[in-house]
Amino acid sequence: MTIEIDLEHDYKVLTQHKTPPELLDEEKIYNVLVLGVRDYINKNGFPGALVGLSGGADSALTLAIAADAIGADNVSALLMPSRYTSNMSIEDAIAQANTLSVHYSTIEIEPIFEAFLNALTAEFTGLPQDITEENLQARVRGTLLMAIS
């Protein structure tokens, strides 16, 4: 608590206020991220934010920052499960959206992912399946997010 006292006139208390507690480094970083997102969205005149929500830590943090920055009513989440998405990830994503009161919808990307794989069959012939196929789902998700936004 900070107090200013008038020493010349009977030690009368002039001002008194509590000093806020020092924030943890993580809180400072989070607050800066929220401020940056809020400023970016407002300065560009965007009506809201759309977040691809997977149930993982990255998208969970992104959703929380967006909701704190511009309010949950101005944020939408899109779940885009595929063959690589576990049930637990879907459950976690839905639970977070509900906890933050963020509207969410789901688009199953498996048919789109299959179409990509079918289109690439000739190019991939004789090659072992690797991270390329899994990264393809990210491209599908990015395309859907851009189309909706």
Tens-place pLDDT, residues 124-140: 999 998 898 888 989 99
Classify burial at 145, counting beta carbons within 10 Å of its beta carbon; exposed 0-12, middle 13-18, buried 19 or more. middle
Q: Are β-strands 103-106 and 2-6 bridged in parallel, bridged antiparallel, or unpaired?
A: unpaired
If you average pLDDT over residues 74-89, what whole number do you get? 94
Q: Reduce the DSSP state of residue 101 to 3 states and report it.
A: coil
Q: What is the Cα–Cα distance from 141 to 144, expressed in whole angstroms? A: 5
Classify burial at 51, counting beta carbons within 10 Å of its beta carbon; exposed 0-12, middle 13-18, buried 19 or more. buried
Query: Residue 21: pLDDT band by 50, 70, 90 thresholds?
Result: confident
Is-contact 42 68, C-beta < 8 A?
A: no
If you average pLDDT over residues 94-109, what whole number do you get? 97
Cβ neighbours for 111, distance < 8 A, ≥ 6 positions apart: none
Is-contact 51 78, C-beta < 8 A?
A: yes
Q: Given this model, what pLDDT does residue 11 score? A: 63
Q: Which residues does residue 77 pair with via DSSP β-bridges, in sequence order?
A: 51, 104
If you average pLDDT over residues 8-35, what whole number do you get? 79
Neighbours of 31 (CB within 10 A): 13
CA distances from 90 to 73, 83, 142 (A): 21, 12, 18
Query: Residue 13: pLDDT band by 50, 70, 90 thresholds?
Result: low
If you average pLDDT over residues 67-73, what whole number do you get? 98
Of residues 88, 96, 36, the one with CA closest to residue 61: 96
Of residues 149, 5, 133, the one with CA closest to residue 77: 149
